[in-house]
Structure 1
Amino acid sequence: MVDRPKIPKSEANAPSTFQRRADGHGQERRASRSEREAPPEAGRFLDIEAATPTVLERKRGVKTMEEAAQWLRWRGIDDVECITPDLAGVARGKMMPTKKFTANTSLALPSALFMHTISGDYPEETGEFRYSPNDGDLKLMPDLATLCEVPWESDPTAQIICDVVDTAGNAVPYTPRNVLKRVLALYEERGWRAVVAPEIEFYLVSKNIDPDYPLTPPIGRSGRQIQGGQAYSIGGVNEFDELIDDIYDFSDRQGLEIDTLIHEEGAAQLEINLRHGDPIELADQVFLFKRTIREAALKHGIYATFMAKPIQGQPGSAMHIHQSVVDVQSGRNVFSNEDGSPSALFRHFIGGMQRYVPAALIMMAPYVNSYRRLTHGMSAPTNNAWGFDNRTTAFRVPTSDAAGRRVENRLPSSDANPYLALAGSLASGWLGMANGLEPDQPTDRTVNEDGVISLPRGLLEAVAAFEGEACFHDVFSREFVGTFSGIKRGEHETFMQVISPWEREFLLLNV
């Protein structure tokens, strides 16, 4: 079940996870594992036109509202969830009957919805953080390319990701999807196209309804509590065999493609890798994958958490981002010269990452807990160094051929909003390419164990670095920088109201 064989896209009639019955009644049965894992028949070739799924058979995305109506009707969908990520990456939106959705019913949300903290508080206005005086409506504009099933719902339900515009139809600059689109437009202006591949780590933990108690690993199939030190263990993955089957099934029904799944170093810590592609599409997939994994875990009576550091003494959870840049006209990877050697743009991209990622770290490590992961002596990088196939650096260049040359950003944590993490990382590389920044020399030594931390050490320090980088006001928009910074300051104030176990342990009777 790990690294399952992939069926070529030309073989669209190969068995899917859920197969429609031939009797025409629209009922579905779950394909057996042997059907799902069986390699395609040798020597089978299909006509390309015949292999292309019809609109109705397509698991994900349509082009017009007319196609959407047909797609929904064919599946017997009762309700549609119209969702958009807020600044924390939480799905916000409205559910409506299918007939309402296909009638192009106007969808609106209050602007303040994008200005509250992860705890639901509304911070005081500070700096350039300001609320709309009338808390006016923002409109949801469904992206039809994201229409897909909600496989964990008991009633037939679909979901669609929406962009956010104002009443005049202009993109709202401080909403996550629009921030990423703004950065990608900078690449388009230069004739470039960014390509990314995220890797998302997460923990499975026992249910915990009292936040005063630490999180603990769950009981696996063996009946024993899961321990750490299981990196790449197939047995560790098989402890949650039925849960992982549900993750694959839910993903398949949404048209989401998992590249590989592994057990990581932590106790019941897993990692899912996604196929490389367009940044908006991949951010959408991470957004939906988080929902999918949480729902699959709840079905089995446990939690899935994307906290950066959920369990003391265990490794943190990262969202590593592999990045490359393609020339739109030629389709060539601009990180490589024609002779296969690293290009000047490759060096400049790394130079931009080294120069600007520390200032944009708040977009990749957005909570107080995030900085518990970026700590000396743990497996996460604490630097802005780079190197070839060096996992102790912030920016690793994996071994590859010239066409696959890429830069892996190892700083983002899994708690980050995927749209913002990708925007911050790609913007830093673009600034390096646009301004011809040179990196320092690559390192081949261990650079995360020397006690030196060359990054912001906490939330407020990261916010100050973010606000102080003048070019970010143009790259991300002044509205986003002000809004995001204000929210993060508000979250820090909320955190400061909580007395931690450490304080009770060491200060109660000693000071």
Structure 2
Amino acid sequence: MSDWMDRIPDHARAWLDGRRLDEVECIVADLSGIARGKAMPAAKFAKQPRFYLPNSIFQQTITGDWAENGDAAFLEPDMILTPAFETACAAPWTADWTLQIIHDMADQTGAPVTTAPRNVLKRVVDLYHARGWKPVVAPEMEFYLVARNTDPSKPVEPPMGRSGRRAAGRQAYSMSAVDEYGPVIDDIYDYAEAMGLEIDGILQEGGSGQVELNLRHGDPVKLADEIFYFKRMIREAALRSDCYATFMAKPIQDEPGSAMHIHHSVVDTATGRNIFVDDKGMETPAFLHFIGGMQTHLPEVIALLAPYVNSYRRYVRDFAAPINLEWGRDNRTTGLRVPVSEPEAKRVENRIAGMDCNPYLGIAASLACGYLGLVNKIEPAPQFTGDAYDSAEGIPTHLSEALDLFEEATAIHEVLHPDFVRIYTAVKRLEYNAFLQVISPWEREHLLLNV
């Protein structure tokens, strides 16, 4: 590994130019999208071609419990992690000169670990490649900047802006609203430049302190890596300005939720053309089949797109979030939107996913639905042209229902891998059962003395 510095991206080498690298963070994303791994001195990393982590990191719940994984779960066998050098980038918020590198995960036979979210996405992308297709995605990230909240029993509040007032809601696209927390935005831009991350644009969304960050289109795995990095970086930028960044789907009552809209197109590998349009720029059957697959299979993967009990608080009628699986052109009330574009950029926007989802799993789930539509030539329902909030609701309304649908979706299991489905379901059932043990303030307020 003596020449490993020659294998990292130009932006990482430029950031280190003239400086001595102190530390390397060897990281992977767990089921929740949390960075897990090891940090080591750069000198040790240079001598160590791989390292090991127990596969049980994919059995850990968001609360720190552990889901069971068969009779030999107590053994916790090690996975072999090797650096994916193309993912190396700066960790510019650290006190010393640190690189972070995402690692590939294999079992001790060399086979990809099927429960690792990044491998799940790679598996789906490989299915496209085997058909001569290249999937292209463009994610949108929504999140809230909020005041520090060290007491979980207290409601979350918007941050204090430079004017000395808390951010106000219903200020979508307001430049002055973005300027209220300008130092955080400035740090996000500076960190992104150091990390080699490209931002397409930042804007104020509809909620109090809610921001949207758009990414350019590209390879699904690369974009998921970037969202994984972005979420960690944005949290650090917020802390530097004495506030929090949260990617909860619904952190503030009576405010809009935060989505991770995913734009999809598919390119023919041989010709380089978007298969959603023909030579004359007209929509193809493949375009409709992709939508048909999403309409058919999205209910089965909502457990991946909305992975927590809080996720379902975002799906509120007339509240800037879809509650249906209708599709329409330039219609933001539908769950599936076809944006205005030039023919070569014809795409489908999935508006269902929440920003709290693991980016690898959210993109994998969405692509899996479109893939099944393409392969099985599934026809969609007719285009919806009105207010889709008047349409019948087509998605699960709580996590338990979503998990039931996920467990029964055998076609989806084969795309994502049955082992992953089994572990993911066990973890989410355990999280849901933990939630059911909590007595909420609403219950104490309205039921304690009244029933």
Q: What's the counterpart of residue 109 of structure 2? A: 168
Please say if 1:277 is aligned against 2:229: no
Secondary structure, aligned partner of 2:262: strand
Give, in whole Å, the separation in 1 of the partners of 2:200 and 2:413.
36
Q: What residue ranges of structure 2 are gaps of 5+ in the alignment? A: 1-5
Please say if 1:502 is aligned against 2:446: no
Give, in whole Å, the separation in 2 of the partners of 1:130 and 1:179.
24
Quick check: 2:9–2:87 contact (8 Å CA) kept in 1? no
CA distance change for structure 1 residues 334 and 56 in 2, over 3 Å: closer, same or farther? closer
Please say if 1:122 is aligned against 2:66: yes
Equivalent residue for 1:59, pick from 11, 19, 33 = 11
Superposition deviation, residue 241 in structure 1: 1.2
Q: What's the counterpart of residue 143 of structure 1? A: 84
**Which deviates further from its counterpart, 495-504 or 317-326?**
495-504
Equivalent residue for 2:29, pick from 85, 91, 100 = 85
Superposition deviation, residue 122 in structure 1: 1.2
Quick check: 2:8–2:88 contact (8 Å CA) kept in 1? no
Superposition deviation, residue 103 in structure 1: 1.3
State percent identity of aligned pairs: 51
Secondary structure, aligned partner of 1:227: coil
Q: Aligned letter for 1:372?
A: R
Q: What's the counterpart of residue 178 of structure 2? A: 237
Secondary structure, aligned partner of 1:158: strand
Q: Aligned letter for 2:191?
A: F
Give, in whole Å, the separation in 1 of the partners of 2:323 and 2:12.
39
Give, in whole Å, the separation in 1 of the partners of 2:19 and 2:435.
45
Write out aligned runs for 1:5-44 (5 A): none
Q: What's the counterpart of residue 127 of structure 2? A: 186
Write out aligned runs for 1:95-114 (5 A): 95-114=39-58
Q: What's the counterpart of residue 199 of structure 1? A: 140
Quick check: 1:392–1:448 contact (8 Å CA) kept in 2? yes
Q: What's the counterpart of residue 314 of structure 1? A: 255
Quick check: 2:184–2:237 contact (8 Å CA) kept in 1? yes
Give, in whole Å, the separation in 1 of the partners of 2:16 and 2:191.
18
Please say if 1:225 is aligned against 2:166: yes
Q: What's the counterpart of residue 407 of structure 1? A: 348
Q: What's the counterpart of residue 29 of structure 1? A: none
Give, in whole Å, the separation in 2 of the partners of 1:465 and 1:74.
55
Question: Normalised by the size of structure 2, how large is the TM-score?
Answer: 0.96
Write out aligned runs for 1:420-435 (5 A): 420-435=361-376
Superposition deviation, residue 375 in structure 1: 2.4
Q: Give per-residue Cα distances to partners, 1:206-261, cap 9 Å, x unaligned.
A: 00111000000010011111110110000001111111110000000000000000
Superposition deviation, residue 159 in structure 1: 0.4
Q: Which has the higher helix share?
A: 2
Secondary structure, aligned partner of 2:300: coil
Quick check: 2:8–2:86 contact (8 Å CA) kept in 1? no
Please say if 1:386 is aligned against 2:327: yes
Superposition deviation, residue 377 in structure 1: 3.5
User: How many residues of Structure 1 are paired with residues of Structure 2 in the alignment?
Assistant: 446
Quick check: 2:28–2:36 contact (8 Å CA) kept in 1? yes
CA distance change for structure 1 residues 130 and 194 in 2, over 3 Å: closer, same or farther? farther
Q: What's the counterpart of residue 13 of structure 1? A: none
Structure showing greater radius of gyration is 1
Quick check: 1:112–1:131 contact (8 Å CA) kept in 2? no
Q: Give per-residue Cα distances to partners, 1:98-121, cap 9 Å, x unaligned.
A: 111111343111111110110111
Give, in whole Å, the separation in 2 of the partners of 1:57 and 1:172.
26
Secondary structure, aligned partner of 1:161: strand
Q: What residue ranges of structure 1 are gaps of 5+ in the alignment? A: 1-53, 62-69
Superposition deviation, residue 169 in structure 1: 1.5
Question: Normalised by the size of structure 1, how large is the TM-score?
Answer: 0.85
Give, in whole Å, the separation in 2 of the partners of 1:59 and 1:176.
26
Q: What's the counterpart of residue 194 of structure 2? A: 253
Q: Aligned letter for 1:58?
A: D
Q: How well do the aligned residues superpose, as a CA RMSD in angstroms?
A: 1.7
Please say if 1:473 is aligned against 2:413: yes
Q: Give per-residue Cα distances to partners, 1:108-147, cap 9 Å, x unaligned.
A: 111111101101111356xxx7763511111212100011
Superposition deviation, residue 401 in structure 1: 1.3
Quick check: 1:142–1:162 contact (8 Å CA) kept in 2? yes
Superposition deviation, residue 501 in structure 1: 1.1
Secondary structure, aligned partner of 1:319: coil
Give, in whole Å, the separation in 2 of the partners of 1:214 and 1:133.
39
Q: Aligned letter for 1:472?
A: I
